[in-house]
Amino acid sequence: MRDEITKSSRIDAAVAAIRRGEFTDYANAAKHFKCSETGVSRRMRGLTKTKKEANSFWHQCLTIEQEEVLIYRINLLTDRGMPPTSHIVKNLAEEIRGGPVGKNWVGQFVKRHGLRLKSLYLRNIDNLRAGAEYAPMFQLFFSIISYFFIIISCIYDLNATNVCLVSLACHSD
């Protein structure tokens, strides 16, 4: 897999060098960047795409450019004090695409671009889902603590990994 990534990046570098005018033929560029002449030729003629472009075309509902527009719109709404919910993001994506997106599309979009999105509503989708899955474990934990007469002396706020930090002191009679 790693070799495929470097192979694709070498072809990209050869194509970029040809477009800049550093090379006049595909063979010399391919030889210089240690990649196949056929791969460079196909990429130059538009017959093949980079892995990122192919993933965008076959697996994502929106192209890379359309997703950039959507990220811009989400961040613009957030900056204006109207952070969009997942339903609003779905509506925006369908407007940009001109057709429906899948039911899990917003979650996958947030997973791909979570660091670039300013909206806290969208970033908390995964956190709320994880919290719902583990709620029974927290209830069991605190019921065991109360059963053994352990007093919780201090409960701190959630840390960066959303793990509750608890300081315990044993109950002494």
User: In the predicted model, what is the mean pLDDT of residues 113-132?
Assistant: 66
3 state SS of 106: helix
Q: Shortest CA distance to 122 belongs to which of 90, 82, 84, 68? A: 84
Highest mean pLDDT out of 46-60, 83-97, 120-134: 83-97
Question: Which of 34, 28, 37, 98 lies closest to 63 in space, CA to CA?
Answer: 98
| Residue with the two structure tokens 């044993």 | 170
Judged against a pLDDT cut of 60, whether residue 145 lies above it is answered with: yes
- Which of 49, 36, 4 is CA-nearest to residue 26? 36
pLDDT of 124 over the 90 cut: no
Grade residue 137 by pLDDT with cuts at 50, 70 and 90.
Answer: low
Helix (H) or strand (E) holding 27: helix 26-32
Give the percent of the chain with pLDDT over 90.
27
**Angle between the N-to-C axes of helices 64-79 and 51-58, in degrees from 0 to 180, rounded to the nearest 10:** 80
- Residue with the bigger pLDDT between 159 and 45: it is 45
17-34 per-position pLDDT tens digit:
999 999 988 999 999 999
Higher pLDDT, 123 or 9: 9
- Closest CA relative to residue 84, chosen from 129, 128, 124: 124
Question: Can you read off the two tokens belonging to residue 116?
Answer: 């670039």
Q: Where are the domains of the chain?
A: 2-53, 57-125, 134-170
- Of the candidates 52, 166, 46, 154, the residue with the CA atom closest to the CA atom of residue 112: 52
Top mean-pLDDT range of 18-22, 149-153, 166-170? 18-22
